[in-house]
Each structure stands twice: as C-alpha cells, then as structure tokens.
Amino acid sequence: MNSQINSEEINQEGHLTIGGVDAIELAQEYGTPLVVYDVSKIRNQIRNFETIFEKEKVNYEVSYASKAFSAIAMYQLAKQEGAAIDVVSAGELYTALKAGFPMEKVNFHGNNKSLFELEMAVKNHVGRIMIDNFHEIELLSQVLKENKTNIDVVLRITPGISAHTHEYDQTGQVDSKFGFDLDSGQADEALKQVLNEPRMNPLGLHAHIGSQIFELNGFKMAAKKLVQVAALWREKYNFIAQVINVGGGFGIKYVEKDEPLKPEEFVKAIIATIKEETAKVNLPMPEIDIEPGRSIVGPAGYSLYTVGSSKVVSGLTPYVTVDGGMGDNIRPALYGAEYEAILANDPNKQADEVINLAGKYCESGDILIKNALLPSLHTGDIIAILDTGAYGYSMASNYNRNPRPAVVFAENGKAKLVIKRESLEDLVHLDQSL
Ligand SMILES: *Cc1c(COP(=O)(O)O)cnc(C)c1O
C-alpha cells in the first residue's frame, strides 16, 4: 500500500475513500477525470496555521493564496475557516465576490494589475493592495482620486534570496519580475512615493521567496531581511511597519523522497525569527501574515482517472493511458513535477509493474507519471493521483478541446459537486460562426 494512504482510507469493498466517500462511487456518479477534495484536510491545515499564531500570541493573517485553487466553494470554505485570501486577477476577485467572501479580507496581488482590475478592487473595497511596481502606484493613485476613497497597501520587495526550488518557482532572487528591488534603492523610492499619496495607507512590507520550499533557511533569511528593511524605514522615513508578510511557498510531500517539514514548522521558525529580530532593533512586534496556497489545498486533492489503452514495446517501459492528462494537470509537462498514483479500486493490490502513466493529449510530454510503480492495470481501472489539489484544476485548459473535469468536495462521507464538468456545448459557447 502507498505510504501516503492509511488503512482508514480503504473501505470494506477494498476501495479508496476520500473524505469518507468511496472513490469508485464518485467516479461512477460524476465521471472521470474527476478532481476530489478531502475537505477536512483543507480545514485542518488552515486551523494548524492559525493555532501556531494563537499559541505564539502574535497578531496574524492566514491568507489563502487562491491561485492554487479558485472556486466559489473554495472561497466559502476559506470564509468558514476565518482565513483571508490572496487574489491576483479580476477573475479571482469576481469569483470571491460571487462567493460572498468578505472583501476586507482580500489581498490583491499581481505584477501588472490593470486599470480595470484596480478599479474593481477599489470599488469593492478590498482590504489591501499588494503594491508591486511604480506603474501600479500611479494607476492606483488615479483610481483612488476618481473614487474619492483610501486603501491600505503593502509593499512587495524582492529580498534577494534564492530559495532552493525549481527555477520557475523562485521569486525572491534579485533578478525577478516581482516586487521592488532593495539594493538599487527602488524599495525606498516606492515607500517615499506611497507616503506622499494621501489616499494610500502603507501597512508594511511583503516578500514571497518561492514555492515548494523544503528548507527553513530561506524563510528565516527573508524574515530577517524584512525586519532589517522595516528598521531602516523607521530610521529614514519615520515609518513603522505594522505588517510583515512573508508570503507562502511551504513545501508538501508529493513523492516518497520528499521530506518537507510540517507547514506549521515553517511558520514557527518565521515567528521566532521576527520576534528575535524586532527585539534586537527595538521595533514593535508587527502582525505576521502568511500566504499559503499549495500547503492548504495540495495534499487534500485527488485526481481520479479511468484507464483506457496501453502500449507495450518489448524492452521499453509500457505506456498506460488514462482519460485525462496535461489539460487537467499540466505540472508534470510544465515543470517535470512528480506524483504518486494508486489503484483506487484496489489500493492494497501489490504494486509490481513499472509503467509510464500517460495522458490522452497530443503531446509526447503528456506523461502524468514517468516510471510509476503500480499493480498491473486493466482497462476500466480507476487510478487516483495523490496531492493534486494545488495548481492542477486552476491551471487546467481546453487543449485538444477536451472539457475541463468536474470538482467534488467530500467530507464526513458526503460528496458535493462544486464545479460542474464542462460540456461539449460549453466548449463552443464563445465561438462565432464564419
Ligand atoms: C503563489 C504565491 C503564494 C502561494 O505559494 P504556495 O507555494 O502555493 O504556498 C503566496 N504569495 C504569493 C505572492 C504568491 O505569488
């Protein structure tokens, strides 16, 4: 049995269960490919983050980075758990509005927010704008004047720290498209400009060093840097940072060799660093904000697929193809991301074959798992790929004009459809005849 699954997740029929619901019944009822979330895993992770802050007695905000998985039901779940959210587009903001999510708990991110997006954010009174660049300061200033309103802002800086992670997942190094550079004086200049904007209320500063990070060191260095900048800003501009936001990026276990710390452990170390560093320079303890995405929804997500064709060539690893692939999970093709899969209709069956688990899309790179160790597979078997809850559905496409899958929330033995499967009609609904 796969080490990521425990015996309670297998029912009397010998099937995988997700949130207490039989995965095979889910596949039958909603079809495959299907994305299923174990909702209690999401709740527990949000609560684990909140608990650490409560224990350490610091003011905080846990802001779910909703680009990892954005849906009306997901925002409603975040609301139930008292989390704030990060949004990065008009589309995510619109979805949060539709969900009835409290706008004062929305942080608007992005390195090229459009005039339309800033207007939408301001008119709906989002809690905070995470300022990324000078162009944005100008645009926001104009929007605030036109709307005769004020807004809280946080300045995003690039702390000059490279996290040990995939190159595409790094965001904190000096050579990055995100945020204000420190050494060149950009960040200082940005603060000066914001302090001169009567309608912008700067709360503090932000850094996000990357994603799927396993080591504490990068976070500690970033936290330290942020406090140093805060100390400098007090000295130079008499500005006291009330908020230090250390971003997200806490790594999760996808495959056996991954050995991340528990997400809360990262937070513990960050809190300790900020306490220590602020004490050294005699700064008041700020509110500490985190923005976890992957660690909240990643491990809670399962992708169910039905096995179809296979191809065996003597001397080569066989291909077994499922009814989804890069259209519902582009991460393997995009970053070489690795996953583990189990045979959902018999997770206890001895895994004794190595195969390439292929997708159905017209790209040779559309292999969901290379050299997957699985039991011998047959047409009609249901495969569950584990830990697909982050950056899976949210990056889904209609490549090859395949409909995007349905998404189901499962909790306490009950399933709820939260995103319908796209229909063929949906696929052509924007098309216009010649
Ligand atoms: C993507 C992103 C996050 C979330 O990263 P995860 O690795 O999913 O935790 C947080 N903050 C910012 C600014 C981001 O861009």
Quote the CA–CA distance of 184 and 281 in Å, as a whole number.
23
> Looking at the structure, do residues 51 and 21 belong to the same domain, yes or no?
no
> Looking at the structure, do residues 20 and 62 belong to the same domain, yes or no?
no
CB neighbours of residue 194 within 10 Å: 19
| Residue 175 pLDDT | 80
Structural domain contains residue 113 = yes
| Residue 166 pLDDT | 56
User: Do you find a cis peptide bond into 33, omega within 30 degrees of 0?
Assistant: yes
The CB of 293 under 6 Å from ligand 1? The reply is yes
> Looking at the structure, do residues 24 and 149 belong to the same domain, yes or no?
no
Instruction: Return the structure tokens found at 338.
Output: 């690795």
The CB of 206 under 6 Å from ligand 1? The reply is no
Domain finish residue from 274, 296, 318: 296
Range of the domain at 416: 7-31+300-428
From the list 2, 22, 46, the residue with the least C-alpha distance to 300 is 46
Give me the helix-helix angle, 216-237 and 263-281, nearest 10°: 30
By most ligand atoms within 8 Å of CB, the mutation choice from 67, 129, 158, 219 for ligand 1 is 67
What SS3 string covers the chain?
CCCCCCHHHECCCCCEEECCEEHHHHHHHHCCCEEEEEHHHHHHHHHHHHHHHHHHCCCEEEEEEHHHCCCHHHHHHHHHCCCEEEECCHHHHHHHHHCCCCHHHEEECCCCCCHHHHHHHHHCCCCEEEECCHHHHHHHHHHHHHHCCCEEEEEEEECCCCCCCCHHHECCCCCCCCCEECCCCHHHHHHHHHHCCCCEEEEEEECCCECCECCHHHHHHHHHHHHHHHHHHHHHHCCCCCEEECCCCECCCCCCCCCCCCHHHHHHHHHHHHHHHHHHHCCCCCEEEECCCHHHHCCCEEEEEEEEEEECCCCCCCEEEECCCCCCCCHHHHHCCCCCEEECCCCCCCCCEEEEEECCCCCCCCEEEEEEEECCCCCCCEEEEECCCCCCHHHCCCHHHCCCCEEEEEECCEEEEEECCCCHHHHHCCCCCC
CATH number of the domain that residue 97 is part of: 3.20.20.10
Domain finish residue from 266, 296, 326: 296
> Looking at the structure, do residues 275 and 365 belong to the same domain, yes or no?
no
Structural domain contains residue 434 = no
CATH number of the domain that residue 335 is part of: 2.40.37.10
Scanning the structure block, which residue is given the tokens 């608990």?
51
Task: Give the phi and the psi of residue 221 in degrees, each rounded to 5.
Answer: -65, -40
> Looking at the structure, do residues 243 and 320 belong to the same domain, yes or no?
no
> Looking at the structure, do residues 287 and 152 belong to the same domain, yes or no?
yes
The CB of 41 under 6 Å from ligand 1? The reply is no
Structural domain contains residue 150 = yes
Structural domain contains residue 1 = no
Spacing, Cα 108 to ligand 1 middle (Å) = 12
The CB of 248 under 6 Å from ligand 1? The reply is yes
Quote the CA–CA distance of 318 and 353 in Å, as a whole number.
9
Quote the CA–CA distance of 234 and 171 in Å, as a whole number.
26
The CB of 291 under 6 Å from ligand 1? The reply is yes
Task: Give the phi and the psi of residue 368 in degrees, each rounded to 5.
Answer: -70, -45
Furthest-apart CA atoms within the chain: distance in Å: 72
The CB of 172 under 6 Å from ligand 1? The reply is no
Active site residue 362: yes
> Looking at the structure, do residues 84 and 111 belong to the same domain, yes or no?
yes
> Looking at the structure, do residues 305 and 289 belong to the same domain, yes or no?
no
| Residue 388 pLDDT | 98
Structurally, the chain folds into a number of domains equal to 2
Structural domain contains residue 2 = no
Structural domain contains residue 179 = yes
> Looking at the structure, do residues 279 and 186 belong to the same domain, yes or no?
yes
Scanning the structure block, which residue is given the tokens 């660093």?
273
Spacing, Cα 132 to ligand 1 middle (Å) = 14
By most ligand atoms within 8 Å of CB, the mutation choice from 46, 208, 209 for ligand 1 is 208
Query: Strands 341-343 and 21-22, how do they pair?
Result: unpaired
Structural domain contains residue 66 = yes
> Looking at the structure, do residues 110 and 27 belong to the same domain, yes or no?
no
* Catalytic position from the list 174, 255, 362, 428: 362
Instruction: Return the structure tokens found at 343.
Output: 């045979």
Torsion of CA 356, 362, 363, 365, to 10 degrees: -20
> Looking at the structure, do residues 281 and 317 belong to the same domain, yes or no?
no
> Looking at the structure, do residues 292 and 171 belong to the same domain, yes or no?
yes
Quote the CA–CA distance of 290 and 63 in Å, as a whole number.
6
| Residue 160 pLDDT | 86
10-residue mean pLDDT profile of the chain (434 residues): values are 86 98 98 98 98 97 98 98 98 98 98 98 98 98 98 96 64 82 95 98 97 94 97 98 98 96 94 98 98 98 98 96 98 97 97 97 97 97 98 98 98 98 98 98
Structural domain contains residue 234 = yes
Quote the CA–CA distance of 110 and 98 in Å, as a whole number.
21
Domain finish residue from 234, 262, 296: 296
